[in-house]
Structure 1
Amino acid sequence: MTPETHRTARVEARISPDALALVRRAAELQGRSVSDFMVTAAQEAANRIIEETNIVRLSAEDQLRFYELLLNPPAPSAAMLKAFERRRELLGIE
């Protein structure tokens, strides 16, 4: 099946004549319709944005702090110890 057979929704957008000319030219260069070009470009942009939100970026200082905490974790707090004990009780773990 081709991608066109799966299309079930319609999207409308207003675009300036200059932007449309640019999109038309790019679509022509790739041998695609304007609609196909725009859908593909929108999907690629959406995927890129979604992927970027899944990447955690830390400053150099924060990276060092994270590294130090991994190598030398702090002792568990009283609340954490209580939570672990409650978990053991709930799950029947000795």
Structure 2
Amino acid sequence: MPHETIRTSRIEARIAPDALAIVKRAAELEGRSVSDFVVSAAQAAARRTIEETSLIRLSSEDQRHFVELLLNPPPLSPALVRAKDAHAQLFGS
């Protein structure tokens, strides 16, 4: 028994006639309805956007600097030492 998605939500968008023609043509080429094509394209774009904002991209130089700081961290600042002590008093070591 195939899994069928229950569609209960609706979105609307205004689109220029030339843009709609392109979307219709692309949907036809894939053998899909315009609605299915637009929903699929929007989901793919949304996933890409979420993925891209979840990644941190560093140059080679920044990567080396990051690893160096992990391997040889600088001494704690006085404020961080106080915060660490306060945390230990409240929650234990």
Scaled by the length of structure 1, what TM-score is found? 0.85
Among 2, 11, 18, the alignment partner of 2:4 is: 2
Q: For residues 92 and 26 of structure 2, what CA distance do their matches in structure 1 show?
A: 64
How far has the Cα of 1:57 moved from its partner?
Answer: 0.9
Identity of aligned residues (%): 60
Aligned twin of 1:88: 88
Q: For residues 60 and 92 of structure 2, what CA distance do their matches in structure 1 show?
A: 43
Q: RMSD in angstroms over aligned alpha carbons?
A: 1.4
Q: For residues 37 and 85 of structure 2, what CA distance do their matches in structure 1 show?
A: 57
Aligned twin of 2:79: 79
Q: How many residues align?
A: 91
Q: For residues 62 and 2 of structure 1, what CA distance do their matches in structure 2 show?
A: 47
1:49-88 matched pairs, under 5 angstroms: 49-88=49-88
Structure 2: runs of 5+ lacking an equivalent:
none
Aligned twin of 2:19: 19
Q: For residues 90 and 29 of structure 2, what CA distance do their matches in structure 1 show?
A: 64
Q: For residues 74 and 67 of structure 2, what CA distance do their matches in structure 1 show?
A: 13
Scaled by the length of structure 2, what TM-score is found? 0.86
Q: SS of the counterpart of 2:20?
A: helix
How far has the Cα of 1:9 moved from its partner?
Answer: 2.2
